[in-house]
Amino acid sequence: LKLIAPDLRVVLLEPVGKKRAFLKEAARSCGMTSVEADGRRLEEFCRSGEVGSLDIITARAVGGLKSLIPMAVTLLKPRGFLCLWVGSGQAREICDQHPALSWRPPLAIPGSEERRLLVGERTGG
């Protein structure tokens, strides 16, 4: 996202110290500014006062989508987007179970038979 929108403020949630250090170094090495690698988990971040303040949330290779999606919805601004990297079976299930988001048709991930990019837009105010 920073490559196509360099002025975008990005917060990367990564509770594992070594992974967080890598993310910080990658952003620094690429000359990216306004990138914060935060050690909190999503649950903690939700309690930090960021409710309704984010334009886009992305998630990849995370478990617990049943709890992640409702938390993400609370963090999104109205008309904000949640982007998930999921399996094709998960995509159908997620769209059916989470009506607080208006889901776009899943997009195939190039080079992958099973994975999809699922994008939902927050509908309520």
Return d(Cα 65, Cα 102) in angstroms, integer.
16
Quick check: helix, strand or coil at residue 101? strand
Q: What is the pLDDT of residue 125?
A: 59
Which pLDDT tens digit goes with each residue over 21-77? 999 999 999 999 999 999 998 888 888 877 778 889 988 767 777 888 898 998 999
* Amino acid making up residue 9: R
